[in-house]
């Protein structure tokens, strides 16, 4: 039972870290996109 909880906890932590990285990557991508629009102007 304890092992089961550890596996669930570990999976949740990994998912949270991945979601955080995806959000950061999207922010960076959006910033780059806005920056290139500024350059085109």
Would you tell me how many other CB atoms lie within 10 Å of the CB of residue 14?
10
CA distance 20 to 5: 22
Read off the pLDDT of residues 9-40 as tens digits, 9 standing for 90 and up: 999 999 999 999 988 888 887 777 777 777 77
Range of the domain at 36: 1-41
Q: Is the pTM of this model over 0.85?
A: no
Q: Which pLDDT belongs to residue 18?
A: 92
Q: Which pLDDT belongs to residue 14?
A: 95
Quote the number of domains for the chain: 1
CA distance 9 to 31: 33
CA distance 11 to 27: 24
Q: Which pLDDT belongs to residue 34?
A: 73
């Amino acid at each position: 039972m304890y092992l089961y909880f550890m596996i669930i906890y570990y999976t949740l932590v990994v998912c949270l870290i991945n979601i955080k990285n995806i959000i950061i990557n999207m922010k960076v991508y959006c910033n780059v996109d806005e920056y290139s629009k500024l350059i085109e102007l």
